[in-house]
Structures are given as C-alpha cells and as structure tokens.
Amino acid sequence: MGAQSFSLTFLPKPPKISPSKIPTAKLTILNLLPYKLLNLNKFSTISKPNPFSLTITKPSKLPKPKSHFQPIRSLFTGIVEEMGKVQNLGDNKDGGVELKIGAETVLEGVNLGDSIAVNGTCLTVTDFTNQDFTVGLSPETLRKTSLIELKIGSLVNLERAVQPISRMGGHFVQGHVDGTGVIVEKVPEGDSLWIKVKTEKGLLKYIVPKGFIAVDGTSLTVVDVFEEDGCFNFMLVSYTQQKIVVPLKEVGQKVNLEVDILGKYVERLLSSRC
C-alpha cells in the first residue's frame, strides 16, 4: 500500500477578551460560577452562552385569536317571577317611547342597565324607584312584539336575567322575540286550560310536539302542532294560570313567541354543509 498523505487544519484560538469590553446583553442575569443557582424553567429560550455570561430571552406575546362568537348579554329561564302593572306607555322627551311598570320582586338589587324580560322581551332598565322601573322601546321592538297593544293597567310577565347561581327551571330564553301569534282558542279541561295559538309558517317550522316555546316569556311545552291550520297548542295547569298573563288574554289578542334556539342552530349547520 502506498503511503497516504493528509494534513491537519488547526482552528484558530479564540481572541482574548478583556472583561471590561464584554458587551452587556439584555437580561444578563447569570455568571457561570459554581455557587450560582438559577431556576430557568420560567424562561422559554436561552441564547448561546459566552464564557462569561448567559443571556435569557423573554417569550414574545402572541396575539389572541379573534372569536367569531358574540357574547350572550342576557339569558332567562322562562319562569316568570311576578306580574307587573303598566303605569305609563308613551313618548319621552327625546322622541322615543318609554314603558313604566310597577313591580316588587324584580326591583330587588336592580341597577341601571340591567336586563328585565317584559312579556318575553329583553329590555334595559333606564330608570327605577323602589316601586317601579322604566325601559325604552325601540321602533323595531314595537314592530316585532305585542308590546304596542299594552295600555295603562295592563299586566305583564316579568323576569330578571339569570345569575350564575340561578336555578334553570325552564329552558334557555334569550328575550329575543321571533314574532307574534294570535290566540284562536281557549278551552278549559277540569282546572287546566287549553290554549291554541296561530302563527306564521316561518315560525311554525321550529315548533315541535313536546318541545319548548316561550309564550309572552313563559317557558311552556308544546302539546300538538297543526300544520294545516298553522297552529300549535299547550296546556296551563291551575298554578301557572295564576302566575302569568297568558290566560288573562282574550281570543284574538297577540302573544310574543320565541322558539327554541336549538332548532335554528341545527338548521344553520345543515344548510352550511350543502
């Protein structure tokens, strides 16, 4: 075998650096001495150390992703707390419409800006005393709900927005009225009362037997749906009749309706997959 030639390349020695000329790095917190201890778990990255110090880099703050969901401002259960009495309904000094309601229970702990459902319509408290409260009514609220039919002395269902400690006795009610229905029939059976309501087909498609519906803000269970007549019915037991305004209304009067939002979500999900 012939002799092989090779060469060695020596790395240059690192230049000597005077301690006085060492650049001061940001957040240089550790000298490499045997008696120095440091918990590095709270730092995310560590730069390459030099013979004299260790440079620690703070983690950068990443922007929070934007949510596509709007927060729910108010939520109700459909369990009416009391019936209030309309004291005034008319124009205010700013050109809007105000509704003043006498009440007791819903005034406990009330504050300006709180939400109270009036016949199932989520409204904002703009003024209150220890005997009544005032809410504003927008033109859209008057067009969409039956509140325009109220007059001085009318009774209305009242419920405060739920709190984290509230019991969920009914179902999730947002106070966003979907439309109105008309009472077409009232038939007593024993001490209970059958009520039949006619509404538009756009709402009737979300109403199912044994499903939830809010009628004037009251959480009720649908008994039957009559597609050909565009109606549905429900039954009120004696106790409920004494606590809500629906049985006090006559045939031909309007009621506010809010369908179970679950049906809307399902419809939206199915349509988005097509």
Tell me: the pLDDT tens digits for 139-197? Answer: 999 999 999 999 999 999 999 998 766 666 667 788 899 999 999 999 999 999 999 99
Q: What is the mean pLDDT of residues 217-244?
A: 96
Q: What is the mean pLDDT of residues 104-123?
A: 95
Instruction: Report the distance separating Cα 116 and Cα 162, nearest Å.
Output: 10
In sequence order, the β-bridge partners of residue 273 are none
Return mean pLDDT, the chain.
Answer: 80
* Residue 225 pLDDT exceeds 90: yes
pLDDT of residue 272: 80
Highest mean pLDDT among 7-11, 37-41, 194-198: 194-198
Residue 257 neighbours by CB under 8 Å, 6+ apart: 120, 177, 178, 179, 180, 181, 197, 199, 203, 213, 214, 215
The model's pTM: 0.69
Q: Are 80 and 112 in contact (CB under 8 A)?
A: no
Q: What is the mean pLDDT of residues 79-97?
A: 92
pLDDT of residue 266: 87
pLDDT of residue 224: 97
Residue 97 neighbours by CB under 8 Å, 6+ apart: 89, 90, 91, 136, 137, 142
pLDDT of residue 16: 56
Q: What is the mean pLDDT of residues 109-114?
A: 94
Percent of the chain predicted with pLDDT > 90:
58
φ and ψ at residue 248, rounded to 5 degrees: -80, -15
* 62 or 256, greater pLDDT: 256
Q: What is the mean pLDDT of residues 98-108?
A: 97
pLDDT of residue 5: 47
Residues, the chain: 274
